[in-house]
Structures are given as structure tokens and as C-alpha cells.
Structure 1
Amino acid sequence: MSINNHKQGIARSFSRAAQHYDRYAAFQRYCGERLRSLIGPRRSSQLLLDAGCGTGWFSRCWQREGNYVIALDISAAMLVIAQQQHSAAAYIIGDIEQLPIATSTVECVFSNLAIQWCEDLPQVLNQFHRVLRPGGILAVSTLAYGSLHELELAWRQVDNNIHINRFLPQTDIAAAFQAYNHKIVIEQKTLYYSKLIDLFNEIKGVGASYLYIGHGLGLTSRTRFRALEEAWPRHALGLPLSYQLVYGVLYRD
């Protein structure tokens, strides 16, 4: 499948989730707040690009602090929700690997859990760096190899198909940042669910079920569902699902 077809598939997946995204996005909000804390205090009245803005939750945060926000997303339906909530000053449908933003335009780029959907991380960082003004800052969060580990292990007990996307190793993500003045923070976050159906509903609810290769989260029968639940590792707090998080802050010299 071509890159363009993948991008269309990703956009469709997030568009289907747009209406109910915020109901399931507690983890995304956690990561975004963590990322905002790493940037530190910023003066207001800045031109800020929220790249992969979704429904505009963090666009609204930045806007409330007095910034002029450009909300960009690959999903038209997500941007509709963001616009309905008056999240930003401008809205752009676009791909962060080919940013439709002029060079040296914005003072801050904020991108929360979006770049793991891209094909070429060095290209993404190059694009972000290009649109920043001198003295500007980029803050991104992404998922690394090892994320959804429990999901992968449990599926292996049910069939031999691929059911999760491959995430870049932390070392590859760090290497992509090496060309720039930057800092990186690593975090592991484990969520717990009382029922497996709640876990699946959350992944699908935020639009994160698109697969480049494989069979997605679909379950063909109750028997397969029970087999997956029985194969899941147990914890006193519930069914665990782990994420390997990488936060990167890049400074434009």
C-alpha cells in the first residue's frame, strides 16, 4: 500500500472517532500536559502550531494563555470539532511530513502523540525545524517500541497475525534528534482496565486502531475474545496496557 493510501486510512480512522474522541482521550491529555510542563513558561501572544491537534483540546489551552494558535490535523472531521469549539485562530488540513506552513513562521510547535503515525521521523523534525523562527521551540511526544506490549503478547496466543503497529526504538528516536539542540525525556506509563472491552473501546475511541500491516483490533467471535482475555497478563489493578513514551523538546538556534 502506498504512503498516500496509508495517510488516507489514518485520516479516516481518526475522522470516525472525532465525535466521541474526548470521551476516551484521558491518556492523550495526560501526555499533553506532561509535554507542556517540559516546555516551561512561555510568553503569551506567540504564533503556535498545534500539529496533530485532534479535537483542539490543547489548542484551546494555548489559546487561553493568549497565543495565536494554528490548529492542523490530517482529519477533516477532527478539525470540524475543533472549530466548533473555537479552539484556534486558524484551521488547516495537512500532513506534518509535508507541512503547509511557510518557513520561519511560528514561534512554537506543539505535537502530542502524532508523529508515531509518520513514515519518516527525520523528515518530520526537518519540517518542524523549518517552520520555526530562530529562538523557537518544538515540543513533541510519541510512542516507542515496547508500547502495547501486553496486547501483542496476548494476540500471539490467539493467532499469528499482526495486530499492532511497529513503533521506533527509543534509540532511533533519539538519533533523529541528534542534529538539533534538544532534550529528551523517557517515561513508561501503564494503564489498567477492569474489562478487556473497555481497553479496546478506548483504543478505537481515539482513532488509534489503524494498522499499516495486519488485522487490527477486530475480533471475529466471542471465542476469540475470551481466548485473548485469558491470555492477557494479570495484575491486581486490572488488565495492564503499557506505553513507552518519548518526549522531545527541540530548540531552534
Structure 2
Amino acid sequence: MHMDMHKAGIARAFGRAAADYERHAGLQRDSGDRLMELLGPQPGRCLLDAGCGTGWFSRRWQQEGSLVVALDLSPAMLDEARRNQSASAYLTGDIERLPLADASVDICFSNLAVQWCDDLPRALAEFYRITRPGGLIALSTLAEGSLGELQRAWSQVDQAVHINRFLTPGTIDLAFAPYRHRLAAARHTLHYPHLSALLHGLKGVGAGYLRSGRTPGLTGRQRLARLDAAWQRQAAGLPLSYQLIYGLIYRD
């Protein structure tokens, strides 16, 4: 399977996070719960969990009576999903080049995965291609404004790039425009007791990967102390916000 260096880097970052992923994945849980509510129960229908991670939602869909195909870019994540008997089938693959036949599933479910894609319109076209007419595609993704506190704090320490760029809501709107769809936005803020818990949480969900490559001395103690000092604390702790977009596409 062809996989570019950037995708291989993402797969490695999530692979390293696989064993710890479920302890840190509070945001993913909340987002996936909302997506499941949007879709409603799908008993007896074939569902692709695209970017399944450790298979948390694959297992939830199985319990609801769906026939689940679990797909992820990271073989280590899939191993974890397989260990937990999360699905009927497991596929290592890229959302932008899905290793599935046209019209082969009833439902596409993708929770916080497509923000790692290079080309959102291509990912949506692939979901549409493999979904049967009358089926549904439900996904959540991150939009511009996510991790804003992290970006602002780092900007007071150095000028390097420390977070990935997220698409604007307008760009996401455009990607959905060719399809009959519904979109909804929500802001989600997590609070951490201290900086090391926050950075560990980001790593724990594989989000430590940067497209633009590593910056040297990222974790130097003095730089982290400056980062900590630059953060605007709240009573509940250090805030870290995510701008989420939920999308539903009707496969005509």
C-alpha cells in the first residue's frame, strides 16, 4: 500500500499512543457519543469505523447490533482493537484511498480522524463511493481555533510551529457542499491540573505528531517553564479548547 511520509508519521505517533490511548481519549469519547446519537441505532447494518483507533466505538456499534469493519492507518491501533474483539473485520488503510469496493457498506462512521487527511474533499468522496445508496456518512473533525491556547502560549516562547493547521469552518462547508448534508459546530474545552498532564494528554491521543517536522529542544525545561508561565490559567486549571464540526451526509 502506498503511504506517504506524512501518513507514516501519523501512523507511528498513534501507534506509540495505542496502549495508553483510551485513558486519554475523553474528547474522542464525547465527540463519538454525539455522532452515535446523530446516527441512531443501526442494527444489522454494515458499518465502517474509519480511523477506529483502539476500537472503542467499533465495540459500541457491535453492542448495538451493527456488523463492523474497523479501519485505521496505524497497525498498532488495529492490533489493540483486535485484542479487544472490536469488529468483524480489520483493515489497515488510508481514508483518502479506502481499500473497499464501491457501495460496500451501509454506514460510514469517522470520529475525529479526517483532520489528519491531506484532502478533505477526497476523503468525503471516498466515504461516498463505498457507501450504498440510502446509507449515511457521519463524521466529526477539528476546525480552526482548536488548541488555540497552546498556540498562543507557544507564541510567547518562540516562533516555531507547534500545532497542526486545522481547516476553517468555511473550507469544511465547501467540502460538504456537493452532498445533501447537515453540519453542526461545537466548542469543547478540557481543563488540566498542570502543563505536564496537558502535554501528556495530547501525546496520549497521538496528537503529538507535527506535519512540519520536529522543533529542536521542544521539551527543554526552561522552555516548558516559560510555556507554563505564558498560559492563561482558569480556576478549573489550564484550559485547552477544541472547535468541533459534526457532519452528516445522506448517500443518495
Indicate the TM-score class for this superposition, using the shorter chain for normalisation. over 0.9
Q: Taking structure 1 as reference, are residues 234 and 116 closer, same or farther at Cα in structure 2, changes over 3 Å only? A: same
Matches within 5 A, 1:155-194: 155-194=154-193
TM-score (norm 2): 0.97
Deviation string 1:135-166 (CA, Å, 9 cap, x unpaired) is: 00000000000100000000010001000000
**What's the CA shift for 1:218?**
6.3
Residue 14 of structure 2 corresponds to 14
2:160·2:215 contact (CA, 8 Å) conserved in 1? no
Question: Secondary structure of the residue that 1:19 maps to in structure 2?
Answer: coil
Which runs of 5 or more structure 2 residues have no equivalent in the other structure?
Answer: none
Percent same amino acid at aligned positions? 55
Residue 28 of structure 2 corresponds to 28
TM-score (norm 1): 0.96
Question: Secondary structure of the residue that 1:189 maps to in structure 2?
Answer: strand
Residue 132 (structure 1) aligned with residue 131 (structure 2): yes
Q: CA RMSD in A?
A: 1.4
Question: Residues of 2 paired with 1:142 and 1:119: CA distance?
Answer: 13
Deviation string 1:189-233 (CA, Å, 9 cap, x unpaired) is: 111111011000000011111111153696332211110000001
Matches within 5 A, 1:8-157: 8-42=8-42, 44-157=43-156
Matches within 5 A, 1:168-247: 168-215=167-214, 219-247=218-246
Give the letter aligned to residue 91 of structure 1. Y
Question: Secondary structure of the residue that 2:20 maps to in structure 1?
Answer: helix
Q: Taking structure 1 as reference, are residues 172 and 218 closer, same or farther at Cα in structure 2, changes over 3 Å only? A: farther
Question: Residues of 2 paired with 1:248 and 1:7: CA distance?
Answer: 23
**Segments of 4+ moved more than 4 angstroms:** none
Which runs of 5 or more structure 1 residues have no equivalent in the other structure?
Answer: none
1:209·1:216 contact (CA, 8 Å) conserved in 2? no
1:73·1:79 contact (CA, 8 Å) conserved in 2? yes
**What's the CA shift for 1:40?**
2.6
**What's the CA shift for 1:3?**
7.2
Q: Taking structure 1 as reference, are residues 68 and 41 closer, same or farther at Cα in structure 2, changes over 3 Å only? A: closer
Larger mean CA deviation between 213-222 and 202-211 belongs to 213-222
Question: Residues of 2 paired with 1:235 and 1:187: CA distance?
Answer: 20
